[in-house]
Structures are given as structure tokens and as C-alpha cells.
Structure 1
Amino acid sequence: MRIEAEAARRFLCERLGLAGPHWADATPLSRLGMVQIDTIRIAGGRNHEFVLSARADVPTRGFDAQVYGPGGFVEQHYPVHLVRSAWRRRFMEGMAHRAQRYRIAGMSDAEVAALEARVLDHVRAHGPAKARDFDSLRVPGGFDTLKATTIALERLHLAGRLQIAGRSHAFERLFDLTERLHPDACEPVVPGPLDEAAVADLARYALEVLRLATPDALVERVQHHAGPWRGDARKERLRTLTHAALDRIGAVPVEVVVDGDPVPHLVLAEDLDALRAAAEGDAPAPDEPMRIVPPLDNLLFDRPRFARLFGRRFLFEAYKPRRERSFYFAMPLIHRARFAGIVDLRLVEGRRLMVERLEAVPWTEREALRVALHRLAFLVGAERVSAHARIDGAMRKAVIGRVTGQGGARG
């Protein structure tokens, strides 16, 4: 099957929940399979909260209740992300490998076992606990030193004895017993090899996350899911095992024509109808809402794909020196499955959503941008949208105003 880049964009946005009307709630979020968590709080939310707001009419502050509460996702550690609960076991096998090597400096195995038992007893008696609920000697670890109990919590999480029940108001992890959160899956997690079956599962998960991937991008994602620190996760080995698993996982080759050149990609057989619909269907509806997409969104998990299909190279510049960056928390604008610009936002005094920087393509519709900004302002609890003086005068005038609801009506 061969499709044009435009159809590939439509398909990708539809599969990732960035096309059509916004969801009424977070229920369809499980379609994504994985959501990356980030600690940076900007414009009234964090990356994962904006992943939700780009798709659903749910306030950013409601993310935990929508995602942790129902148990459809579990939080994993490398990197910090939420994955479908059904995938937990395979991801935890990789984490168990890491737990074996995560030592507590200056403590014997017996002392570590006693400390972990004390931590488990506390959680069993008092419910979900965070690191600062414990007091113990600090030992080498992290950037400098960590409490021994903090490392014990980490070890118990990696080993599958504890799970993340949610986050505190200060974004601290709340650890609870696996047997309490997942009573049907609380048997000890034993480190397993990355054999053919394990790689096939991870390849399936990776393609469910990416939805459309080149063979190389799929291998990179498999390595990412397995944990690139593992000795048996070398890329060439995974390439061989992933290629051998393609038929088993239902991966189908397609060609995406980019600037006249066909580029090999893979999709799941179950997605072929959606791919054909994107290729043969009508153009997106004129009133399709513009999406404000966070920098670690699923759409950007494969940044070369984003550059290839959307015609824009994207960089996450938050960790670059200020003098070297154009944006801080750059959020791409996607409208009708096309790149419409990049915006950098900041929440001022909890009341104003400030447009710090804006780079819009010539065809960007001002009213659609206004509605998107006012909708996001509403979801983060802001009362007004304002714009820095550096923003183009006509565009600035078009987007500022009082927030009266998700429709972006002028105030």
C-alpha cells in the first residue's frame, strides 16, 4: 500500500487522538498506550496534563483522578511514563534487572532486606507513602546523596513490590503495595531475558504507541521500552528479533510518499482500514479544532517522523541555556493534521495565560488559534489570555481577551 504524506498525517493524528472533536472525558486515553511524565510545570500544567488537554475537555488539574484512579495506566520508571496496565508485567521484567544492580552504599544485604521490610510494613499499615514520610541516614546516590529509605522505595518499585498510586500536590510519587493496587498481578517479578517472545511483545507495544513507524524507528522504540542499559538490548540484536516478529505482531509494510520519494513504514493490520480512510476520505471538517500539543507528546515520540511528515524540525529547548533557545516550553500547533506553528505559554499569577512567543505559518487561522488558547486557559483555570509585546500586533489583538469558557468568546 502506498499513501501520500498528507494522508499519513491525517491517519497519525486520528490514531493519536489529535483529529476530530475533543473527547468528552479521558476514557479514550488508553488508546495511546503510553504517556510520558515530566516534572516541568509551565502554563498551569505539566507535559502529561497537556497531553490530556490536547485531546479531552478535562481540566489539567484532573489528570491524576482521570488516569491513576481508574487503574488503566501504571507508572513505570525508565523513563518516567505511564503505560497500559495490561503491559505492566513485561515492562516490570526489565525494571527487575535494574533493581538487582541498584545498591545502597554502605549497607549489607541483610541490612537492606531489613530496611525494605520496614518500608513495606509502614506502607501496609499507613497506606500510600512518599519519600519524605521516612527518615533515615543519607547515603551516596542520585546527584549527591539520598536517604537510604528513598533508595529502598525505588528498589521495591523496580522489583514490583510497590507501585505508584498517584502523585502528591508537590508531584512526589505515592508508593503503595502492589498487592493492594493490582491484586491479580502481584506475584514477584523475576528478571527475564529479552528472548523472541519478549521482543515480540515489546514490538507490538511500540507499534501501538507509534502507530506509523519506519523499521528503524520501531527498533529504537523497542530498545526504549526494553531499557537501553540492558546488556541484551543491543540495537543490532533487537533489529534481528524485531524483524522476525513482524508477522507475529501483525505489522504490515506501507510506503509513505514524502516529497516524491516513497519511505518504508509499518502499521498494524488492524489500522489498515483507518489508513485507507485517511487516504480516500474527505478533507478535515472546517470547524476541526486546533490542538496545542506539548513537547513530549506521543506525536513527538519520533521526532524524525514529525519533521518528515509535518515539515518542521522540533527541538525541546527547556534544558538549553537561555541565550541559545528560541522557545522554552515549545508547544506545536496542529490544525487539520497540519503544522500551524509553535507557541510558548506561561501562567502569570495563576490568572493570565501569557503568550510569550508565537511562530505561526502564513495560513494559520487566527480565530482557530484564539479558540485553542482560550480553551486551554479555561482548562488551566486562567481568567484572561494576554500576549507579550513581541507578538505581531494583528495576531496579538486576535488572541487576547477575557476567558469566558472553552469556546474562546471575546470578553
Structure 2
Amino acid sequence: MAHELSNDQARRIIVRAQLLDADRPGDVVEVAEQLGYLKIDPTAVIAPCEHTVLWSRIGWSYEPGQLQKAFELDRQLFELDGAFRPMSLLPLMLPAMRRWPQRESTRQWMDANARFRADVLARLRAEGPLRASEIPDTAQVARAPDGWSGSNQVPIMLDFLVRQGEVAVARREGRQRVWELAERVYPRDLPEYGDDEAALLLEERRLQAAGIAKQKSPWTPVGEAGEPVAIEGSRRKYRVDPRALAALDDDTGGRVAFLNPYDGMLFDRPRLKELFGFEYVLEQFKPKPQRKYGYFAHPILIDDRFVGLLDAELDREREALRVNAVHELEPLESEEHEMVRAEIADLAEWLGVGVAGER
């Protein structure tokens, strides 16, 4: 029999699962363990995604060097598919990585470039860690440029090898990845899981991060993980993390949070619209005359309500966080205005700049 939750209760579970409640986490690894991934994106209107995601959870005590240390020195995180992930997820992902690729055209390309693959691995074994630009392109068969990659086949081969668990990102130099053999980066004492057990545990971890998710969601596939839940006003089949459900009465309340447009909280747009009444459209790729809220507006969450969008950008020349507008989706009370202004001031202080143009 399904649990029954009000819409308010469902939102609170989701907010807490995403570490956006008043009880802030203590460090980078705690955030990564709960959320499952920290998306890496170079768009830095305010700050890169991986850093704003962590700041919005941890707050003023977060420093970018903490992420670098957890990833490069402590090896508590690893990089895969455009995200930093907790090392505890790697053994759950390895069974599927060893079966990759599934697409026939990719298998054919890898087979045709067997010598190229061996060349790349041999170069890393002898000289690694290396940037892609330091590895010769000896591909026998080239893939056509797709808009994301050029004619050099080395970055493509490295991306494929990291998906197979053969190589790993050892560190970053700026936005450049530095590659190494996986055996020299990943811990050697990782537990082993069979395909079915690993898949189930991954679904449970996704539900842990989501709190509540649709059973067959393409955005957060959780399968049979958790328990069925009926949510007030919804006919959709949701699953709930039983630990989050059990802790519902321990709620410590909410706070203000500015969310990077690529924040995982915003990923499942249908859930966002149905449970939060928030229909978010990223206007980054719209022509300027068609933008209503701004190029890279950050949604504003207060408690469990999306109340507006912050259109702001870091002006490095003037050393200021320039606030173009605070768009209210619903009229804010004076206390809420003060909370938003205080969060803007905290954001500027974290960036090491002042505030300009606040409205």
C-alpha cells in the first residue's frame, strides 16, 4: 500500500534530500555523497556550476580549494561524464562501464582503432599523467566532427576509455583535464558487485538524492527503489526514500538558496512543475530580445517555494556582483526581501567582491 503525503510534505522531503534546508552539510564530500554528482560546467556568469552548487549547500565556509583537494589529493571524488562523483559510487558504476559501449557504431569505431587505443594506453603508462594535447593522434579511423569535438581523435578516445574504466581524470589544470591510467587513480580495494545488485544500489542512491521521484522518470530513473507514495493532487506514480520519509518530522526548517541553472534540483522539470508549481526555462540559448528573466538567471528558493529569479553576474573589472534584477514570481513579504538581500550580500562576500545595482 502506498504512503500518502501532502504536497507540502513532498516538497519538504525533496528540499531536504537536496541539502537545501536549514541544516547545512559540513563539507564537499558530504554533499557529493548525498547528491551523487556535482555537475561540471564552464559557464561562470556568477561562478562555475560545481562551485555554486557547493556554496548553495555549505555556505560561506566553502572554498573552491576544498573541491580540488577532495578530488585530486584525497581521491574521495572521481570525474566521469561531466561531473564529480563520490568514490563510493564507482564500484556501483563499474559493471555497466565494463559493458560499455552499447551502440554498434561506437563499438565498430573502437574495434577499428584497436592500435590507436593501445598507443594511448601505452603513452599514459610510460609518461602519464598527460593532457590530451600531449598524446599523438594515431587513429586509423576518424569520427566526423560533431560540433563538440574537432578533428583530433585523442579526446574522443580518452572519453571512451574513461567510460570503460580504463583511464581516469587525475586532475585539472584550469578547465583542461589531465589523464592517467585508472589503476593509478582509483582505489585498488573497491568492493565488487554483480550487474543486478549494482543497478539496484544505484537506483537507491538516485532516490536518496531525489527524495521523491517518478518510478519511470527519464530524469531520475529509480525503478523499484524505495516505497510507493501517493502525493496530494497528483496521479503520477512516485517512489519515496524510506529514510527521508521516516525523518519527515525532524525537519529543521528552510532558508534562502540561489540555484545554479544546472543544479540537480532543477533537473526533473515535470516534477518541478507539478510539486513546486515552478516552470523553469533557462534562457541562455534564447535570443536576447526574447529573454524575460536574463541570460543565466538563478532560481530563488525560500523554504520549499520558488519565489523568484536572480539575474546577476560577476563583474571582474569592477570587482562587484552586479545585480540586474530580482524577478519576483509572487509578491515577497518585507522579511523575505531582507532574506534575499542578505543572501546576495553573502554571495558577494564569498566571491570576494561588493554588490552593485541591487534592487
Q: TM-score range by the shorter chain?
A: 0.7 to 0.9
- Give the aligned partner of residue 321 of structure 1: 287
Q: Tell me which amino acid in the other structure corresponds to 1:367.
A: E
Alignment of 1:187-266 (within 5 A): 197=197, 199-217=199-217, 220-222=219-221, 242=223, 246=224, 249=225, 251-258=226-233, 264-266=237-239
Secondary structure at 1:354's aligned position in 2? strand
Matched, 1:151 2:151: no
Mapped partners of 1:8, 1:339: distance in 2: 14
- Give the aligned partner of residue 290 of structure 1: 256
Shift of 1:369: 1.1
- Give the aligned partner of residue 166 of structure 2: 161
Matched, 1:341 2:308: yes
Shift of 1:142: 3.6
Mapped partners of 1:208, 1:222: distance in 2: 12
Match of 1:362 among 300, 319, 331: 331
Secondary structure at 2:101's aligned position in 1? helix
Q: Tell me which amino acid in the other structure corresponds to 2:220.
A: R
Alignment of 1:103-122 (within 5 A): 109=112, 112-122=113-123
Distance 1:185 1:97, change over 3 A: farther
- Give the aligned partner of residue 31 of structure 1: 34
Distance 1:108 1:4, change over 3 A: closer
Shift of 1:155: 2.8
Mapped partners of 1:198, 1:28: distance in 2: 21
Residues 59-101 of structure 1 deviation map (CA, whole Å, 9 limit, x = unaligned): 3464333445433332222xx2233323224434444522874
Mapped partners of 2:107, 2:256: distance in 1: 48
Match of 2:297 among 326, 330, 336: 330
Contact 1:209 1:298 survives alignment (8 Å): no
Contact 2:20 2:255 survives alignment (8 Å): no
Shift of 1:265: 2.2
Q: Tell me which amino acid in the other structure corresponds to 1:85.
A: M
Contact 1:210 1:301 survives alignment (8 Å): no
Query: Identity of counterpart residues, as a percentage?
Result: 24
Contact 1:255 1:265 survives alignment (8 Å): yes
Q: Tell me which amino acid in the other structure corresponds to 2:8.
A: E
Residues 304-341 of structure 1 deviation map (CA, whole Å, 9 limit, x = unaligned): 21222222101122122323322221211112222221
Mapped partners of 1:337, 1:221: distance in 2: 20
- Give the aligned partner of residue 14 of structure 2: 12
Alignment of 1:63-82 (within 5 A): 63-77=67-81, 80-82=82-84
Match of 1:274 among 228, 240, 247: 247
Greater displacement, 295-304 / 123-132:
123-132
Match of 1:179 among 183, 194, 208: 183
- Give the aligned partner of residue 2 of structure 1: 4
Residues 1-59 of structure 1 deviation map (CA, whole Å, 9 limit, x = unaligned): 3222222222221221101143343232111112222232221x211211101011313
Contact 1:137 1:147 survives alignment (8 Å): no
Contact 1:253 1:264 survives alignment (8 Å): yes
Secondary structure at 2:227's aligned position in 1? strand
* Ranges in structure 2 where 5+ consecutive residues have no aligned partner: none
- Give the aligned partner of residue 309 of structure 1: 275
Matched, 1:384 2:358: no
Contact 1:374 1:385 survives alignment (8 Å): yes
Mapped partners of 1:293, 1:184: distance in 2: 36
TM-score by length of 2: 0.83
Mapped partners of 2:108, 2:63: distance in 1: 40
Contact 1:92 1:158 survives alignment (8 Å): no
Residues 174-203 of structure 1 deviation map (CA, whole Å, 9 limit, x = unaligned): 21221111142699x9xx9xx755543442
Residues 184-238 of structure 1 deviation map (CA, whole Å, 9 limit, x = unaligned): 2699x9xx9xx75554344223212322112232x55239xxxxxxxxxxxxxxx
- Give the aligned partner of residue 123 of structure 1: 124
Shift of 1:153: 1.8
Match of 1:51 among 25, 37, 53: 53
Residues 151-175 of structure 1 deviation map (CA, whole Å, 9 limit, x = unaligned): 3322321221111223221x12221
* Ranges in structure 1 where 5+ consecutive residues have no aligned partner: 224-241, 388-394, 397-411
Contact 1:290 1:333 survives alignment (8 Å): yes
Contact 1:163 1:177 survives alignment (8 Å): yes
TM-score by length of 1: 0.73
Mapped partners of 1:214, 1:150: distance in 2: 35
Contact 2:256 2:339 survives alignment (8 Å): yes
Distance 1:321 1:137, change over 3 A: farther
Mapped partners of 1:85, 1:76: distance in 2: 11
Mapped partners of 2:146, 2:19: distance in 1: 36
Distance 1:377 1:276, change over 3 A: same
Shift of 1:301: 2.1
